[in-house]
Structure 1
Amino acid sequence: MPRAARLTTTAAALAAISVLATACTGQSGAAATDDPKADVTIAFWHGWSAPSEVKAIQDSIDRFEKAHPNIKVKATGNMTDDKINQALRAGGDKAPDVVSSFATDSVGKFCNSGAFADLNPFMEKSGIDGPKVFPATLLEYTRYKGNQCTLPLLHDAYGLVYNKTAFAAAGITEAPVTWSEFAEAAQKLTKPKGDSYEQLGVMPTFHGYETTPMRLAAQWSPTYFTADGKSNLAGDPAFAKMLTAQKDLVAKLGGYEKLERFRAGFGDEWSAEHPFHKGLVAMQVDGEWRPAMAKEAGVPFEIGTAPLPVPDDQRADYGKGYLSGTVMGISSASRKQNAAWELVRYMTTDTEAVVAFANAIHNIPSTLAALRSPQLQVTPESKTFLDIARHAKSNTTPARADGGAYQLTFQDFAYAVEKGDVPDLAAGLARTDRQIDTDIAKAE
Structure 2
Amino acid sequence: MRTAALLALALAAGCKNSPSSNRLRVWSMWGGDEEEVFRNVLRAYDPTITNLPSVSDDKTIRALVAGAPPDLFTLKDPSALGALAANKALRPLDELFAAAGLKDADFTPGALSQCRFRGKLYAIPYLLDCMVLLYNKKLVKEPPRTLEELEELCKRLTKRDSTGRITQIGLRPPEAVQLLGAAGAQFWDEKTERLTADDPRSIEGVRWYKRLMDAQGGNEAVEAFSAGFAEDMGSSNPFFKGLAAMEFSGQWNANWVFKYTPGEEIGVAPLPYPADSPKLAGTAWLGGNLFCLPSEGKQTDVAFAFLKWSQTRAGQLTFASTMHGVPNQRAILQEPTLRTGAPWRPLFARFLDLADSPRASHFPVLPVAALYQSELTAACDAVRYGRKSPQDALRQVQAKVSRELEKYR
User: Same fold per TM (> 0.5)?
Assistant: yes
> What is the aligned partner in structure 2 of residue 11 from structure 1?
none
Partner amino acid for 1:39?
A: S
> What is the aligned partner in structure 1 of residue 14 from structure 2?
none
Of the three residues 140, 144, 148, the one matched with 1:180 is: 148
Structure 2 residue 260 is matched with structure 1 residue 279: no
- In structure 2, the CA distance between the partners of 1:21 and 1:412, relative to structure 1 (3 Å rule), is closer
> What is the aligned partner in structure 1 of residue 66 from structure 2?
90
Of the three residues 361, 383, 390, the one matched with 1:395 is: 361
Of the three residues 84, 93, 102, the one matched with 1:119 is: 93
Of the three residues 254, 263, 268, the one matched with 2:231 is: 268
1:117, distance to aligned residue in structure 2 (A): 0.8
1:37, distance to aligned residue in structure 2 (A): 7.2
CA RMSD of aligned residues (A): 2.4
Following superposition of structure 1 onto structure 2, how do residues 37-436 of structure 1 map, counting pairs within 5 Å?
39-51=21-33, 53-65=34-46, 72-92=48-68, 95-129=69-103, 131-167=104-140, 173-193=141-161, 194-203=163-172, 208=173, 211-226=174-189, 227-235=191-199, 237-298=200-261, 301-315=264-278, 317-347=280-310, 349-377=311-339, 379-423=345-389, 425-436=390-401
1:19, distance to aligned residue in structure 2 (A): 2.7
Q: Is contact 2:339–2:346 with CA below 8 Å preserved after alignment?
A: no
Could you say what secondary structure the match of 1:399 adopts? coil
Q: Deviation digits for residues 51-70 of structure 1, max 9, x if unmatched? A: 2x22322222222228xxxx
1:191, distance to aligned residue in structure 2 (A): 1.4
Could you say what secondary structure the match of 2:396 adopts? helix
Return the alpha-carbon distance in structure 2 between the equivalents of residues 249 and 39 of structure 1. 58
Return the alpha-carbon distance in structure 2 between the equivalents of residues 231 and 299 of structure 1. 46
Q: Is contact 2:168–2:245 with CA below 8 Å preserved after alignment?
A: yes
> What is the aligned partner in structure 2 of residue 27 from structure 1?
none
Partner amino acid for 2:38?
A: I
- In structure 2, the CA distance between the partners of 1:220 and 1:248, relative to structure 1 (3 Å rule), is closer
Return the alpha-carbon distance in structure 2 between the equivalents of residues 359 and 221 of structure 1. 33
Return the alpha-carbon distance in structure 1 between the equivalents of residues 291 and 142 of structure 2. 39
Q: Is contact 2:10–2:61 with CA below 8 Å preserved after alignment?
A: no
Report the count of equivalent residues: 395
Q: Is contact 1:36–1:338 with CA below 8 Å preserved after alignment?
A: no
Q: Is contact 1:319–1:387 with CA below 8 Å preserved after alignment?
A: no
> What is the aligned partner in structure 2 of residue 26 from structure 1?
none
Could you say what secondary structure the match of 1:165 adopts? coil
Could you say what secondary structure the match of 2:213 adopts? helix
Return the alpha-carbon distance in structure 2 between the equivalents of residues 265 and 256 of structure 1. 15
Q: Deviation digits for residues 145-180 of structure 1, max 9, x if unmatched? A: 12211111111111111221223xxxxx31111111
Return the alpha-carbon distance in structure 1 between the equivalents of residues 350 and 280 of structure 2. 15
Could you say what secondary structure the match of 1:127 adopts? coil
Q: Which runs of 5+ in 1 are unaligned?
A: 1-16, 24-34, 67-71, 168-172
Return the alpha-carbon distance in structure 1 between the equivalents of residues 77 and 333 of structure 2. 23
- In structure 2, the CA distance between the partners of 1:202 and 1:38, relative to structure 1 (3 Å rule), is closer
Could you say what secondary structure the match of 1:141 adopts? helix
Return the alpha-carbon distance in structure 1 between the equivalents of residues 119 and 279 of structure 2. 32
Q: Is contact 1:21–1:113 with CA below 8 Å preserved after alignment?
A: no
Q: Which runs of 5+ in 2 are unaligned?
A: 12-16
1:22, distance to aligned residue in structure 2 (A): 7.5
- In structure 2, the CA distance between the partners of 1:196 and 1:144, relative to structure 1 (3 Å rule), is same
1:128, distance to aligned residue in structure 2 (A): 2.1
Instruction: Give aligned-pair identity as a percent.
Output: 24
> What is the aligned partner in structure 2 of residue 5 from structure 1?
none
Return the alpha-carbon distance in structure 1 between the equivalents of residues 210 and 352 of structure 2. 30
Q: Which moved more, 1:36-45 or 1:410-419?
A: 36-45
Q: Is contact 1:20–1:89 with CA below 8 Å preserved after alignment?
A: no
- In structure 2, the CA distance between the partners of 1:90 and 1:432, relative to structure 1 (3 Å rule), is closer
Partner amino acid for 2:143?
A: A
Partner amino acid for 1:290?
A: N
